[in-house]
Structure 1
Amino acid sequence: MSDDGTDGGADLGVLRHKRDATRYRILVEIAERQPAVSQREIADAIGITAQAVSEHLGDLVEGGFVDREGRGRYRVTKEGVDWLISRTDELSEYLEHVTSDVLGDVEVETALADGPVQEGDRVALSMRDGALHARSVVDGDVGDATAGSDGDTDGADDADGATAVAVTSAESGRDVGVAEFDGVVDYELGAVTAVPVPAVRDGGSGAVDPDRLRTLVDDADLVVAAGTESMAALGRLDREPDVRFGTTDAVREAAMRGLDVVLVVVASQLSAHAEGLRETAVGYEVVDASHEP
């Protein structure tokens, strides 16, 4: 049912031929409204005249894609459904191509500028403190460029660092857009240490040894509290958690960005966090910080 009277040709006939695109939309509207179909409603929905809808309907009926069951009553035939499905599959494939191959190539990420960056600069990328950093490459020396402004090269690969192109300008410490990535940012995933706290009816925060908990918390990049009993346990250390809400996603995201996390969690919520972590490559362990018997 293309312009040449065939089945539409290969690939994207619906997008390539205006007539096929219009008929596609008309068939969708009929399928949605059948059997009582108002040509005026179809015309308004797709932005053409009622006369044009009438002409297309005549061709669709003649081609066997639509049955006319009386005045204002139409139904899409099996042939019409098959044609819709085939063209919808083509559109889905095209959308996948645009999303992955086209938009993926121009995807822009945000980084923190280590030193001044000008639009168009080639920048070296590193992951530090859970954030992506970008530094302008000087004379192609990626290794030097991946060091932070304080000389810290944590997370950077002096030999084969990842690079990108700055699509905005930024002063040191400001956000900068980067795209056209080359290579992979080399950094280690963080680890998660989960410290269960009993529910209040089972002893609550009082069952946790403050000294054992403090030892774990002091070594963490990020401390997360899930549940009121966990807040109370940290309160005994005069330690405010870094994260209290949305903890399942926060723990996973922080560890994926290289941060070591201590999750102080009410025992009943531990399984939900563990399930979320099992979907990633992040390692975790459960540590008992209760009082020694």
Structure 2
Amino acid sequence: MAENADEGVLRSKRSATRYQILVGIAERQPAVSQREIADDIGITAQAVSDYLQGLIEEGYVRSPGRGRYEVTKEGVDWLIGRTDELHEFVTHVSEDVIGQVEIETAIATADVAEGDAVSLSMRDGVLRATPGTAGSTTAVAVTAAEAGRDVGVTDFEGVLDYDLGRVTAVSIPRVQDGGSVAVASETLLAHAADCDLVATAGTEALVAARAAGLDPDVRFGTPQAVNEAAVRGLDVLLLAVADELSTHLDRLREGTISYEVVDTAE
């Protein structure tokens, strides 16, 4: 009984088997061993022979001689159609299904293969994944990556053990109250030496940083950025104009981030 040619590979075992056999023929043609195909897909050689007879009758395969088989143009078209179907399904699973699973991104400290168990750590504000389970927090890699490349991880176990960062906040006067000129550059430099990054909020703060020879890492969205940096274990020097500082400190208190306010007026 002939099978409906439009039946999808994912709709029946028979259709999936036909797909695998056609792929096996295309890989080996014209000299095709039915036994090899049978071993590859886990069915008997007699079953392969029966499927081949049906594929020949439907015009998807032709046999120019004993033990010789070729996929016809019609067979290739059928394979392409079914392959497109599989591609759409895999894309749906990877983007719409797996994509909903919690996946974090880390930097691989050594080569990682997909499915490897990894230990997680936080360094320089970035999650790191090291092959093995020696760390206090472990996960499973969902992508492969070379050392230094980004790798997706999921299935987290344990608690990530690292210290939160600390924020040193400097209130910079508004221009009408003296602005950047009223700030001691030496004090900014001394505090910057102990911090991982510098953030400025407001023009006066930016000018004060540059006058001290500092190149700010963050200039916009500083309440969120400073808090996130500290949550990731980075120490931050925050220079903020006086009337913006309270907004930043409120955000830090909400995140239970430690901070100190420094007076730099000359």
Aligned pair partner of 1:263 in 231, 234, 238: 238
Residue 27 of structure 2: aligned partner? none
- Gap runs ≥5 in structure 2: 1-96
| 8 Å contact from structure 1 (residues 109, 178) kept in 2 | yes
User: Does the residue aligned with 1:281 lie in a helix, a strand or coil?
Assistant: coil
Please say if 1:122 is aligned against 2:117: yes
- 2:88 aligns with none
| The one of 225, 248, 261 aligned to 2:200 | 225
Q: CA RMSD in A?
A: 1.7
| Unmatched 5+ stretches in structure 1 | 1-101, 144-160
Q: Go from structure 1 to structure 2 and tell me whether the alpha carbon gap of 1:183 and 1:104 turns closer, same or farther (over 3 Å shift).
A: farther
Q: How does 1:92-241 map to 2 (within 5 A)?
A: 106-137=101-132, 140=133, 142-143=134-135, 161-241=136-216
Distance in 2 of aligned mates of 1:289 and 1:104 = 48
How many positions carry a matched residue from both structures? 170
The 3 A distance-change label for structure 1 pair 181 and 105 is farther
Q: Deviations over 1:97-152 (max 9, x none)?
A: xxxxx999931111110010000100000000000000111xx5x15xxxxxxxxx
| 1:203 CA drift (Å) | 0.2
CA–CA distance in 1 between the matches of 2:170 and 2:154?
A: 39
Which runs of structure 1 show a deviation greater than 4 angstroms over 4 or more consecutive aligned residues? Answer: 102-105
Structure 1 residues 278 and 120, CA gap change in structure 2 (3 angstroms):
same
SS state of the match for residue 235, structure 1?
helix
Q: Sequence identity, in percent? A: 56
3-state SS of 2:260 partner:
strand
Per the normalisation by structure 2, the TM-score is 0.62
Letter of the structure 1 residue corresponding to residue 111 of structure 2: P
2:216 maps to 1:280: no
For 1:290, what is the secondary structure of its paired residue? coil
Q: How far off its partner does 1:245 sit? A: 0.5
Question: For 1:105 and 1:207, how far apart are their aligned partners in 2?
Answer: 51
Residues 103/115 of structure 1: CA separation in 2 closer, same or farther (3 Å cut): closer
